[in-house]
A and B are shown apart, each in its own frame.
Chain A
Amino acid sequence: MSTHHVKVAIGMTVIVAAVAYLLLSGTTASTMYFLTVPEVQQQLSALQQASHPIRVAGQVTADPIQWDVRHLSLAFRIGEGEARLPVQYTGVKPDMFQAGVNVIVEGRIGRDGILMASILMTSCPSKYQDEKNTPS
């Protein structure tokens, strides 16, 4: 194998190794658990302690929704079955947002058991109808 081929092989290996490294470190660092509300309730204390951000999918309950326009602050509860989780979100209220709508929230659960959401997405059964509201 000539020196040229060796050099090319080295170049290729470097690139593949870089991709692999980035992939693995990204998978461990930037992914998070995607839980349902009952699962959150089960693991509540563990989640509060660990304070990792998590993603939760649930349905907005019929409980009163507090929407403060001036501070763009939204307080509501999501649920599934019997389980309930209070959520606090700061940002623009998604157009589709109302009781009964399926949502996905992302954030940390504090000592008070409230999920402080940095991301709130409503999802509709048919495609094209997702809305995203993400602060920078």
Chain B
Amino acid sequence: MNDIGAYALRCACVVALYAVSMALLGVRLGRQEMIRSAERATYGVFGLVSIAMLALLYALLTHDFHLRYVANVSNRAMPTFYVMAALWGGQEGSMLLWLWILALYSALVVAQHRFRSRALVPYMMATLMLTALLFLTMLIIAEDPFQRLPQAPRDGRGLNPLLQHPLMVLHPPMLYLGFVGLTIPFAFGIGALASGHLDNHWLRSVRRWTLVPWLLLTVGILLGSQWAYVELGWGGYWAWDPVENASLMPWLTGTAFLHSVMMQEKKGMLKVWNMALVILMYLLAIFGTFLTRSGVIASVHAFAQSSLGTYFLLYLAGALVVAVVLLLKRLPQLRSDHRLESVLSRESSFLFNNLFLVGIMFVVLWGTLFPILSEAVRGVKISVAAPFFNQINVPLGLALLFLSGVCPLIAWRKASPHNLRRHFLYPLTLAFLATAVLYTVGMRQIMALIALAICLFASGTIVLEFYRGTRVHWLSSRVTVVQAFLTLIRRNRRRYGGYIIHFGVVLIFLGITGSSAYQIEQDLVLRPGASAVVGTFTLQFTQMTSVLQPTYEGVLATIQVSRHGRQLTTLYPEKRLYFAQNQPTTEVALRTSLFDDLYIILAGFEPSGVATFKVFVNPLVLWLWIGGLVIVMGTIIVLWPQRSAARTGDRRAPVSVGTVSASEESF
């Protein structure tokens, strides 16, 4: 049965090669049927890779330990849910998932453009299928999921217990849906460059094809942080780890692009910059996948021995060269249509916003690559850890947040300074007053105060925007305030959906500020029955129990949590030993509320019954996840399909240029 899977992959390789050749040949010779054949080949690749995925899934579910992969990542005792998730639990499987998502997106894009943007489609297919070939080659030669063992073991090793967690099941697919999605804008960009059709038509498709992967990437990153927080047990959620950075960099670039693309749509500006961003997103996505796969960060020597790294690097170099050559070739056609009219305009604030975002991305890239580069160049290994990133990215991030508060107050093209000053007044005053109050109440950490002030300022401007917009609609027609509010959002989805997304970001900053600046950490040594006070909580260690489950055994501590005499909850921090992997794990006990998280780790225990606990009180962490949900909501509003009002169709529509059709979309 598994031969089918291996065969399907090899077949897919041939078909992908065919697709690339047919597409390029077809566009060169002007033969439509060749291009149509290439399109079908793209569908074919999707079908074949799906067969391979299904074959692997089947092997997992039937516990076919003949396959080395299946023996590595699953065992008979694992719950079925996790056996299925093991499909992407190991190296080979997750590469296959990446490839499958790429094949899916490619098929979707091709189907979507059966009758649109025909000039770009051949080049897009070539780009996407070449990317697929990279992964197909790796899967066939270096990381074969269908490799057989000479003898099937009776039982498999099983998935690392740390990965047997719902968050860790969702995180890789989400992340990949994001990463892979960013190859599509690149395909469009190459299509536009190669075909010479550089007008703004392709931008419209690209916007959606960037926003959806961006959203999924955001969710993927947040899920990963949440998993790290809940499972890894060090009290934090982000460590500026190379793997984490690898997912953040394309995200930052994507955020920059989502803003600067509006400049191009409205004013025909930043054409070269946007192209560069699209190329960068792609390279960072592939590079990010490479970073998390090849272990290059651990040591340059390890990388040199891994064949995987070579494939990736060669491909990246090749892609970069091709993209840059095409870009340079079309440079004359990419000049701006308009110029900036005023420094006080939304355009310039978008420009600054892009600089900050790309700046932060560059800092993360520098910090991630510096160790490797210094080792390769000087032979001296330097380590770059969290303090570096925090020191630099915190001020930059806060400046960016401030900018996001200022920007809604500024109009497109040209804003009037005195109007701006007037509108600044309320949010700024609010921020100042609140900060002053907090300071007098005892909050003295300067960074936290500044951060909070900026959060308040940004929230203030967003609320003000909603208020002013609702008021305009409410005054102009006889509707209720609520109806005016909904109409406002409905007619300006991008703008107000965008504001909601910004608000989600503010909440995330709030969560980060609270949990970084005011974290309490305490070690407790308690014998059964004893209590201790941490922050405002009183913790009583009542007993220690042994636990025996089919897959693990462990020790469980019971802790009664109360505050000001009132019983709140009972927490059970645990230490487990999983039999199959002979791996000990620590299970964190967590109590979440809007104000803070109580986070308890069972650090150790003696035969006498005395146990040591590490306790964290992390304020405002919940707001990180709430902020994430708000971002999702905002993005859905932005993406919600517009009631089509004959966009390009009816140019004969009566035009009284004094009033403009109310169903058009704007930002």
Contacts and interface: CB of A to CB of B under 8 A. Distances in A.
Given A131-B234, A136-B521, A27 B370 contact: yes
Contacts of A71: 525
A55 B363 contact: no
Contacts of A62: none
Given A69-B612, A70-B525, A72-B523, A22 B396 contact: yes
Most chain A beta-carbon contacts within 10 A, residue among B232, B391, B392, B521: B392
Contact of B384 (A30, A123, A135): A30
Interface string A60-101: 000000010111100000000000000000011101100000
Contacts of B434: none
Interface stretch (B204-212, B315-323, B351-359): B351-359
B163 A72 contact: no
B527 to A, nearest CB: 10
Given A22-B396, A31-B384, A92-B614, A8 B340 contact: yes
B340 A4 contact: yes
A12 B352 contact: yes
B352 A15 contact: yes
Nearest to A136: B521
Given A11-B352, A128-B162, A32 B383 contact: yes
Interface string B216-241: 00000000000000001111100101
Most chain B beta-carbon contacts within 10 A, residue among A5, A18, A30: A30
Contacts of B586: 92, 95
Contact of B388 (A8, A31, A67, A127): A31
B610 interface: yes
Contact-residue size bin, chain A (C-beta under 8 Å from the other chain): 35 or more
Interface residues of B, number: 63
A136 B519 contact: yes
Contacts of B384: 27, 30-31
Contact of A22 (B160, B342, B391, B584): B391
Interface stretch (B119-127, B533-541, B601-609, B650-658): B601-609
B612 A55 contact: no
A31 B363 CA distance: 13
B339 interface: yes
Interface string B3-36: 0000000000000000000000000000000000
14 contacts: A8-B351, A22-B391, A23-B392, A30-B384, A31-B370, A55-B383, A69-B605, A72-B614, A92-B233, A95-B583, A126-B160, A127-B243, A129-B162, A136-B519
Interface of B: 90-91, 160, 162-163, 168, 232-236, 239, 241, 243, 292-293, 295, 298, 339-343, 348, 351-352, 355-356, 359, 362-363, 366, 370-371, 380-385, 387-388, 391-392, 395-396, 519, 521, 523, 525, 583-586, 601, 603-606, 610-612, 614
Given A30-B384, A34-B382, A92-B234, 17 more contacts: A8-B343, A23-B363, A23-B392, A27-B370, A31-B370, A31-B383, A31-B388, A33-B380, A33-B381, A33-B382, A33-B383, A34-B381, A70-B610, A95-B583, A127-B295, A131-B233, A134-B235
Interface of A: 4-5, 7-8, 11-12, 15-16, 18-19, 22-23, 26-27, 29-35, 55, 67, 69-72, 91-93, 95-96, 106, 123, 126-136
Leading 4 A-B pairs by shortest Cβ distance: A69-B604, A30-B388, A19-B359, A34-B383
